[in-house]
Amino acid sequence: MSGPPMRSMAMPSRCGGYVLVDAEGERDVTLVATGSEVSLAVKTRALLAKNKIRAAVVSLPCWRRFDEQAAPYREKVLGSVPRFAIEAASRLGWGRYVRSEDNVFGIDQFGISGPGPEVYDEMGLTPDKIAKGITENLNLKRQENS
């Protein structure tokens, strides 16, 4: 009799959130996503690397479970660097993980229809547009601090 695959208690998703791909070297930014948006985050990470921005990708499939984890675990996963979330649905709620709703790449409209890639492009949810937005955000912060 076959059933669902066995799950190990060591599965990082059981913590609600985990580092899927760490930065190469010291982390400059953290990209947070869940579901299909994780692939956007991984592609964005590669584009940022070309600009010498080292990004970690965090998968955050369950906010409730992540919030239940000890603070040191949550801080280690999210890091102390600038954080950005990628969410194809509403940006609502992501600000608590990335410190500001302004750091969320998402869609706050309803009723957009069309082929997925065209909708994502129109709404700025492509790796190129996300990487550009993050780079501009980091450059602005550097200018403010100098």
Range of the domain at 40: 15-134
- The CATH number for 105's domain is 3.40.50.920
Residue 35 lies in a domain: yes
Residue 144 lies in a domain: no
Residue 7 lies in a domain: no
Q: Are strands 18-21 and 55-59 parallel, antiparallel or unpaired?
A: antiparallel
Residue 141 lies in a domain: no
Domains held by the chain: number? 1
Residue 56 lies in a domain: yes
Q: Distance between the two ends of the chain, CA-based, in angstroms?
A: 65
* Residues 56-115 pLDDT 10s: 999 999 999 999 999 999 999 999 999 999 998 887 889 999 999 889 998 777 767 778
pLDDT at residue 6, rounded to an integer? 39
Judge whether 123 and 107 are in contact, CB under 8 Å.
yes
